[in-house]
Structure 1
Amino acid sequence: MRTTGKWFNVFLCFLFVLSTLSFSQQTEAAADYVNVNKSVNPTQITTEGEAEVTLQIQGTPPVNVIMPSDVILIIDRSGSMRGQKMSDAIKSAKEFVDLVDLTKHQVGIVDFSSDTKALPLTTDAVQLKSYINGLAANGSTATGDSIDKAMEMLANHRPEAQPVIVLMTDGDATVPTVNPYQYAKDKALLAKEAGIVFYTIALLDTNADPTTSGPNILLKEMATTSSHHHFVLGSVGLSDIYKAIVREIGMASAYNIVVSDLVAPEFEIVPDSYKDNIPQPTVVGNQLQWNFLELKNSLLTFKYKIRPKDKNKAGTYYTSDLTSKLEYNDYAGAKRMKFLPAVQLSVKFPAPVITSVEANEGAPEGGNTITLNGTNFRQGATVTFGGTRATSEQFVSSTEVKVVVPQGAQGSVEIKLTNPDNQIALSNYKYKATPVVTSIDPATGPFKGENLVAINGKYFMPGAKVTLGDKSAAIVLVHPSVIKVTAPQAAAAGPVNVTVENPDGSKVVVANGYTYEEEIIEKLEITAVSPNKGLVSGGDYVVIDGKKFVPSTKVYFGTTAVSVGTFFSETKIRVTAPAATTAGLVDITVENTDGRRAVLVGGYTYEPLPAAPAPQITRITPNTGESTGGTTVIVDGANFTTQSKVFFGSVEGVSVTYFSPTRLRAYAPAGTVGAVDIKVVNKDLQEAVVTGGYTYVAPAMAPAPTVTSLTPNSAPLNGGTIVLVYGTNFVSGAKVYYGSTQAQVNNVISTRITSVLPQTAAPGQVNVRVVNPDGQEFILTNGFTYTELLPTITATTPNKGPLEGGTFVIIDGTNFDRNIRVNFNGVNVPVTYFSDTRIRVTSPSSVVAGPVTFTLTNPTGSQVSGTFTYENPVLPSPVITRLNSTSGPLSGGSFLIIDGSNYTTSSKVYMNGVLVPNTFFSVNRLRITVPASATPGTVDIYVENADGQRSNVVTYTYL
């Protein structure tokens, strides 16, 4: 029986669906077209906090189902739309018409400014675009009136069609003058309540901020949902928005959506936290309800905030009642419902905070009561001091707890207050006691310190410091009942205070607790000197034993000071004995930098040096030389010293050089012809003599100089030329004469003299004479020729000019005579003489262009030439004024007359960059035959003359 009833019901449903929809539509209507997601952030709050709930509603339209729509395009044509905005609006609206499927949808137009006009709903695309083309911007912005007009036009929409308004405007609503914004919003609300889907497009200024723009905010609030609102900056992207709306129009959707979200009783809605939603919900008590006409494939996001109602209740709760739901009609009109997802929110009490501790330090014995001030303390909270539970806790209020401090060790510890929910608050407490000294052992010690001292007592802390007097003692050990230190050196003998200071600042001072004994001072002393004697020449190592030596100790041998060479210890040093002038006993004195001295009388004996052997001479090389002196003489022998002297007779030799104890060298001084004794004398005046050991002979006569050639052997008469004189037997100090004039000599070697040619008055040949210092000379007859000064050209300014002549030409150079002549291209021209380096002439005329020669001639006949270029006159550039035709067929072949000016027989015509043969008729006309072209389009034509000058460019079009 139940099976029969079941199949009967199914059969009835099938008949009902079949009567209203096609088979494909039945399949789509069975699907779910809305997905809902809910989340909360954060997922845990305190009883004093807030959380934001987010609902995300995603449309999932059926595929291949088209819902007919009747669409009214509302287009703003107010004055602010002038220019590019209006052009883009017209273009985009026409594209909208082209994209809409007018076999299923109808489109009408409402255009507005101060007034409102309309084109009724139609499927005629041509009529729609023609109407849109006629829009012109002017007037105010009556946004509300345009919506009124659109509702009027949609009042009788097709029953099967969804009524749609698409509003595009760029400015604030300005009509009526009283509250035009609200007027426009009210009209939009009426439209939405009438079941009209409302799209809005805001054309904002390029630099506008969408989040603060008045028009953008207004239009967003007017749209069916936030996804039905769009904006562009300027008008860029307007076409894309229209295209996106076209894709949505006709898309089957969820309709008449109602979202009811009932907030759980543990929470309350934070007022106005939902104000940014489009559309805004209706809020009654703990329930929020959103109503909107359609969803399409959009993702809508709604947000609101909640907070706990009871500040003394914690736990984890659902944010909404489980009956919260979403209802809608599918495109077939069937009612659908689904429950909203459930999410949980954890609520905890706020963590405790200790803001202050009254009486935050006390004795280690504890037992004192302190007060903890703060927030969020709860009944049953416990308190520990460094992990030790307080002796007792008294909960006074959520901001005050009193506790009895337990016993603890000196130092800072952590106070931890723990609420029953295990949340904690932290602070600090200090166990503090003044240290106590009961004895100091030993109570006396040496002046230099370094002895161990034990300070007995209690309440000593790690890190404690000890001072004896005003000096810190090095810590060896710290124990709560004893501190051991190393005593520092005393500043003075006698009692000093002993101070013990803990790291927490507590301290104790024991007056005169420690006594320093008198200082035992050792004297500086010499006990031994080894060796205690040496030669007067010094240089021996001497070791001195004694007491209280320092590295900076100075040592005196008699009155001669020496530094310590090696410091072994304060009882042993080593020095190097200085040299002495005489033999005998000297005192040894040591002196420290503190002024202390010690003397060992007669502590060191200087002994005389042993007698040196007398010098000996065994050979003299050479043993003869010229009486003029200067001969290098080598003396060999024995027992020579660095102070040895050599005498030639009674005259000391020049520049004696010591090579070794067996060899000396000296330069013989000048002497008289004959034999002289050679004597070597050492510093100790011992000497060796070779009688007649060296013989002076008369000097030989030097050869006379000869001159073989000069380089160069001629030069200008103004002198200054370097002339090399070649020959033989030249001697340093030789002189050179050109004619009777002595030349400057820069260098002399035996075969060459470097001289500087002196100037002379007239050109011609002169004798060259070389004279050695001994008066011998050589004359080279007519050995050098003085030449006259030749003119030169260094610059010609300008170096070119016109054929007609008349150009002033400045010629710069050298050696110009006052009576210089200039021949310019075969014509003698007048000369203006400025100086021997500058003249000026005027160029004569020429019949031929190009370079020519001009010649400068001094009265002596010397010449120099330069060049000057005659230039043709500059011709005017060609000009094209007209073509007899500006277009023609691709095949070409027609005559093209090019009229203009300044053409020549050598003019060339270029068409599209290619040279085209031409016929020259006159300076004002050329003719070409138009060549064929492979492609249509415009090409350039210009004329170029032989001098490279080009005309203006004109164009010719291939059709």
Structure 2
Amino acid sequence: MGVTNSNKVINTDRMLCDGALRVTLALTAAPDIVSNPTDIVLVLDRSGSMTGSPLANLKLGANTFIDLIDEATDSTKDGQIGSGSRMGVVSFSSTAVANTQLITSVDALKAAVDGLSAGGSTNHADAFAKATQLFDPASPNAKVMVLFTDGNTTIGAPPAPVAAAARAQGIIIYCIGLIGSDGLDISALNDWATDPDASHVAVTPDAADLEELFAELAANISKPGATDIVIDEVVNPDFVITSISSPTKGSATMLDAHSLRWNIAQLGVTASESATLDFFIRHVGQQPGTKLVNESITYSDQEGNVVSFPKPTVSVECDIVVHPEPCPEPVDLTVEGCQDSVLVDLGDVYLGSQGRIIQMDVTIQNVCPGKRVALAAILTEVDQDGMEHQRGMKAFTIPAHSAPVCRDVLVKCIKFVVPEDLNVSGTAMCSPRKFKARFLANNIDTDYRCCESTITL
């Protein structure tokens, strides 16, 4: 079968500017179908949400899959599934029906697919049950179920136990998901499919991708597994690779901060087999936005399998930082050669006030683009009787930002110099002191425009 599935997933779709995430690469390969006959059941969703282009694209993908299996089993598109393999079609909406048994006629299989019409609810449990009934437990053929769906379960029994029972009978389950108008529970697909999830589940939001997903699953069926596998991964320059876990097969090496190589000697040569690799990356860029995780990923093996990996993206959120008060200018200082002591005149330092310095940061939440904000900081000191004493107030104008959406703004380094007041601060210098800080923030700018009035006499 060659490489039957490849996937790349990340463990989150949102992260902070200095955040990290886990990336999982997955690969599944299986022996040549010619020497390892396989019974395959296509389980196809024909619920009401499939009306129109989703159903048309599904038919195109399923028929492409049938053609590729036809050619893989006997090296020619002769209209017959050969070498002892068979294929069947089950479709489902509110209930499931076996449109064919396990047969070898390509015309009959395509006629079953082309005859599907959309309507009704979604009963995944009945779909798994009907598909499982098509397999002969006494047959030595490998057993594969390919389930396609575009939505969540809306009727019938819970499908997870039915899928688990099918897997317990040795049936390999692949799930292809289309994110339809009612959404799609990807975690449910992961639960139904054979492990590892990343190698047996493929999801797309675009019905036009269905032919490619079905073709990718079938295109490598004529290949005898895969040997001398090399996968080179290069992450986006805004990320660095921080660590690599030991893969379940083969070995992985970090080439530099942005790239790694995964080598597998052989996979799926004698039986269907999966391999996964986890590695961790950290965002080091300074700009927010939706970013591709990988810059490129390439695959090669001795058999010439054609393999592509998804291109996941992550939304990166970076704080907007404002410094309303500049830091003091530094004075350059140089120590020459092997001097073990140095005396330098660094000029004058002007005394601003006696007392301690309190420096505060505050985040203004939900500041919309193009809006300046007036920020006031009020500091009081609390004496031993709980009375508050004014220690100062500062007001700032926070400049408008140009981010595309409302977001939080971090204001840093608001400084107060507070004198020692023995009547308030304590009976001795450097006693512990209690303070309270309050912040007020209001928009300066508004979208309000006064309506122009016209007076007619």
In the superposition, the TM-score normalised over structure 1's length comes to 0.21
> Which has a greater percent of helix?
2
Choose between structure 1 and 2 for higher RCO, CA contacts under 8 A separated by at least 6 residues: 2
In the superposition, the TM-score normalised over structure 2's length comes to 0.41
Structure possessing the higher radius of gyration over alpha carbons = 1
> Which has a greater percent of strand?
1
